[in-house]
């Protein structure tokens, strides 16, 4: 898919709101588009990964193996959400959960290699991406802490 179409998709995702038109232009040249059918495993718990996925449409379910060896559903994410943020920050750690596609899904993908190029060549864009990742992870931690407190109550 060409950069123009990717840029158009980027305009529909809140994480790109803080990017200027020129910054979206640059970032669009470093991203890939992918359509994924239901049932496909996007990432597997324990595997190493190197990509951040922006969900344009569809739904992804996040699962993790529990102490009994069964898959527990932790969350479901749809349009505007991201999956795989930690792989851009530290690609030496294994994936913390499995991400499985549960509806036809369209994704924008930013690899660690592309992100590292952006860090070197366009640090202002990289900072904005990292701010979005920090915000997303912070929101998820707050949500998880609230659920954990409910369990302990």
CATH class of 33-113+121-144: mainly beta
Which pLDDT score, from 0 to 100, does residue 9 have?
85
pLDDT at 79: 93
H helix runs in 19-122, sequence order:
21-28, 86-89, 112-121
Domain boundaries defined on the chain = 33-113+121-144
Please give the average pLDDT of every successive group of 10 residues along the chain, which has 153 residues.
Answer: 81 87 93 96 89 95 86 90 87 85 96 96 95 80 61 63
Count of Cβ atoms closer than 10 Å to residue 95 Cβ: 19
The pTM (predicted TM-score) of the whole model is 0.86
- Which pLDDT score, from 0 to 100, does residue 60 have? 97
How many residues belong to the chain? 153
Q: What confidence score (pLDDT) does residue 23 get?
A: 94
pLDDT of 149: 56
Per-residue pLDDT, 135: 82
Contact by Cβ (8 Å): 32, 113: no
At 121 the pLDDT is 97
The angle at the Cα of 113, spanning 126 to 84, to the nearest 5 degrees, equals: 75
């Amino acid at each position: 898919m060409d950069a123009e179409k990717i840029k158009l998709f980027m305009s529909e995702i809140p994480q790109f709101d803080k990017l200027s038109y020129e910054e979206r232009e640059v970032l669009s040249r470093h991203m890939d588009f992918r359509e994924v059918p239901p049932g496909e495993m996007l990432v597997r718990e324990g595997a190493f990964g190197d990509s951040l996925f922006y969900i344009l449409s569809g739904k992804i379910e996040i699962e993790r193996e529990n102490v009994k060896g069964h898959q527990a559903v932790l969350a479901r994410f749809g349009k505007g959400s991201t999956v795989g943020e930690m792989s851009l920050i530290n690609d030496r750690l294994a994936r913390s959960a499995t991400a499985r596609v549960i509806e036809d899904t369209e994704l924008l993908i930013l690899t660690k290699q592309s992100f590292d190029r952006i860090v070197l060549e366009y640090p202002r864009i990289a900072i904005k991406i990292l701010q979005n990742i920090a915000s997303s992870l912070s929101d998820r931690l707050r949500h998880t802490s609230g659920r954990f407190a409910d369990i302990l109550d």
